[in-house]
Amino acid sequence: MIDPKDPAAAILTRPDIAAALSDPDGGDATVLDAVHRVEHEVVVGLDRHVRVTETFTARCLLRAPRRAVLHLSGPVTVRTCWNIPVSGYDAGAEDARRGLHSFTADYVGFGESTCPDDGAAVRPLDQVEPMRAVLEHIMGLRDLSSGIDLVVESVGGGIGTQLAADATTVRSLVLSTIMYSGMSELAASMLLSPEYRAFLEGFPDGYLVTDGSYYAQFTAVSPPAVGEWFAATQSGRYPTGFFLCMYDGYPYFDPSVARAPALVLPGPGDFVTPPGDAEALARDYGTDGAELDFVETGGHTPRFESPETAAAYWQRVYDYLEV
């Protein structure tokens, strides 16, 4: 039964899709495998909401049990950064083709979610409860019985480990691009300098403003189309509190609270993290540690680097998720 209030209802109740879903012979594959996107607004507190994008195919509804994945990202991107409209880089579309309802979310203080007046007061771990509300919403909306897989990067990893403390809502966790024990000497020389702190504290409303050129530092080894897309879509206002927490020291999250299984999947060429950081995170995760693997040709952000690196990253992710 499709809830008429569900943003996907207009799609799922179309006559061609309804007929394909009810066809005992399997239905029209072109109808069942077409990729769709809808927007959700999830209430996460008093006068607070989180904007969520769902990518799916009708075939996702036929999977038993149903599965879903939630992607969380870093401090200067919004939810669209996972769904890059370049072949090999659209995570939502690929998730959906593999039978996963795919979700991305703007944190509180980001994009189209509620943005508090003071961005300097918005910290990564403040997102745990809002994202937990998102997980609960997804589980009820899509009638999930086995929890949601989290595929996350950057500060999304710290948030993800705390969400994974509840293994009933989180089925598994894949972490990449995580600064756990600290950052490399090169990164620290820039990001922990008094000058950079003064720069962050200079925004009167606590929101860092980025333009398209800002993203060249992250997409230098990406295909040009990916870099151009980031420059055109990710510029905006981002809470400085996500950066100011660096000055409070590392680690800023406790991975030992996690109870869902996890894979730590960095690129060995990541110049932002210090030596041994991924190994330390895998060791300290949960009660028995996490699985550790490397995207051999990867750097700081394997999923949107070269086509070969991105393909290797996603193949390892999907192998782990068993889809």
pLDDT at 1 exceeding the cut of 70? no
**pLDDT exceeds cutoff 80 at 145:** yes
SS3 sequence of 165-195: CCCCCEEEEEEECCCCCCCCHHHHHHHCCHH
Query: What is the rounded average pLDDT of the residues 212-231?
Result: 97
**What is the C-alpha separation between 8 and 101, in angstroms, rounded?**
12
pLDDT at residue 323 in the model: 80
User: Quick one: what percent of the chain has pLDDT higher than 70?
Assistant: 99
**pLDDT (average), residues 59-77:** 96
Tell me what pLDDT residue 160 has.
98
Mean pLDDT of the chain: 96
Condensed to tens digits (0 to 9), the pLDDT of residues 172-209 reads: 999 999 999 999 999 999 999 999 999 999 999 999 99
Mean pLDDT lowest among 23-27, 133-137, 190-194 = 23-27
Q: What is the pTM of this model?
A: 0.97
Output the pLDDT for position 297: 96
Confidence class for position 5, pLDDT limits 50, 70, 90 = confident
Q: Which pairs count as long-range contacts for 274-277, CB under 8 Å and 24+ apart, including other chains? A: 274/181, 274/182, 274/183, 274/184, 274/185, 276/181, 277/178, 277/179, 277/180, 277/181, 277/182
Predicted local confidence at residue 52, as pLDDT: 98
What residues does 287 pair with on adjacent strands?
none
Domains and CATH numbers, the chain: 1-26 (no CATH), 33-321 (3.40.50.1820)
| Phi (first) and psi of residue 16, to 5 degrees | -70, -40
Q: If DSSP codes are grouped into helix, strand and coil, which group holds residue 153?
A: strand
DSSP state, residue 122:
-
Rounded to a whole number of angstroms, the distance between the first and last alpha carbons of the chain is: 25
What mean pLDDT comes out for the span 220-244? 98
CA distance 25 to 150: 33
